[in-house]
Structure 1
Amino acid sequence: MFANLIRGSLAALVVVTGLVSNALAGGFDVNTTITGLALRGVDPVSYFVDGEPHDGSIAITAVHNGATYRFASEENRDLFKQNPDKYLPQYGGFCAFGTAMGVKVDGDPDLWKIVDGKLYLNLAPSIQERWVKDIPGFIATADTKWGDLENVNPSDL
């Protein structure tokens, strides 16, 4: 019952925010805005080098997997280009808890955690509170489910 409540709430929020993966970003595997911007413009490298997210500059960008990423500095952009997989959020930037529940919903760049060198996002503070109660379990479940979800339109789930 809890899972159905979460799925319904998360699905509704996706529709309201409009922050879902789209064909403009090259498929359904990356969470982007309708303009193809990933992470709402937050610099993915900043989590790792600064220990916190920083907004990227519209003038410093890179395109990866059809999505546009912004960076706070050219150095961060260059680090990203050298090894994008090191800095990309897991599950294409969709919510880690939602992925474990079998849905693709927005991941908020301000609700994040680095676990074993990987960046995970969550949808909302209450969702993140639930996720941190069993991070290894939710990651294991999400890793298993991501293969089935990765190329599916969020609205089809």
Structure 2
Amino acid sequence: MTMLIRRTILGALSALFLSSVAFAQDKPVYFATEGVALAGYDPVTYFEGATPVMGAPENAVMWKGAKWHFSSAENRERFESNPRAFAPQFGGYCSYAMAKGVLKSTDPNAWQVVDGRLYLTHSPQIEVMWRQDRAEYIEMAEENWPVILHQK
């Protein structure tokens, strides 16, 4: 695929993605259903292997207005001792959308750990775009997050 075609496709995906209604919630952490962050995935496992592991309600903790599930009591304790070390950046909202100044839902299976921080994106397709210039997107999102968080 030529670079021009790929850029055209990525541009069209980006426009479609950002033209949809942004998700806004009263809480600084994104959760889709029943107040459970990361759709129930254990945030600690993102840092331990190639695939995140689903947590269990019996190993849950409330933090920042959301329920966080863990695959073990040990992971729950690790999170409780330093939640910011394991929680996704930008409250779990899409890192790519945050770079554009928009709140957008995420897919817990579209993620990357960069410099010890967990970043989520809306979909695997958006993750591909985000990875192409992630340093710039992270910088832009870091600038936008406090502004958007203050508006909530």
**How does the TM-score come out when normalised to structure 1?**
0.82
Q: For residues 91 and 29 of structure 2, what CA distance do their matches in structure 1 show?
A: 4
Distance 1:151 1:45 in 2: 27
* CA separation of 1:79 and 1:51: change in aligned 2, threshold 3 A: farther
- Please tell me whether residue 8 in structure 1 is matched to residue 19 in structure 2: yes
Rounded to whole Å, the distance in 1 between the matches of 2:49 and 2:74 is: 12
Where does residue 31 of structure 1 map in the other structure? 30
Deviation at 1:34, TM superposition (A): 4.4
- 2:80 paired with 1:81: yes
Runs of 4+ in 1 over 4 A off after TM superposition: 1-4
Q: Is the 8 A contact 2:33 2:39 kept in 1?
A: no
The aligned length equals: 141
Gaps of 5+ in 1: 15-19
Question: Alpha-carbon deviation of 1:40?
Answer: 0.6
Q: CA deviation at 1:22?
A: 3.6
**How many Å apart are 1:49 and its aligned residue?**
2.3
**Partner in structure 2 of residue 137 of structure 1:** 136
Counterpart of 1:48 in structure 2 is: 47
- The Cα offsets for residues 108-145 of structure 1, whole Å up to 9 and x where unpaired, read as 11000000000000111211111011010000000000
Task: Assess, with a 3 A threshold, how the Cα gap between structure 1 residues 96 and 48 changes in structure 2: closer, same or farther.
Answer: same
Separation (CA, whole Å) in 1 of partners of 2:113 and 2:33: 26
In structure 2, give the amino acid aligned to 1:68: K
> Which has the higher Rg, Structure 1 or Structure 2?
2
Cα 1:60–1:79 shift into 2, 3 Å: same
Q: C-alpha distance in 1, partners of 2:137/2:68? A: 27
**% same residue:** 34
Query: Does the CA-based 8 Å contact 1:32-1:38 persist in structure 2?
Result: yes
- Mapped to 2, the partners of 1:68 and 1:119 lie a distance apart of 18
Give the TM-score normalised by the residue count of structure 2.
0.85
CA distance in 2, matches of 1:34, 1:49: 25
Aligned-CA RMSD value: 1.9
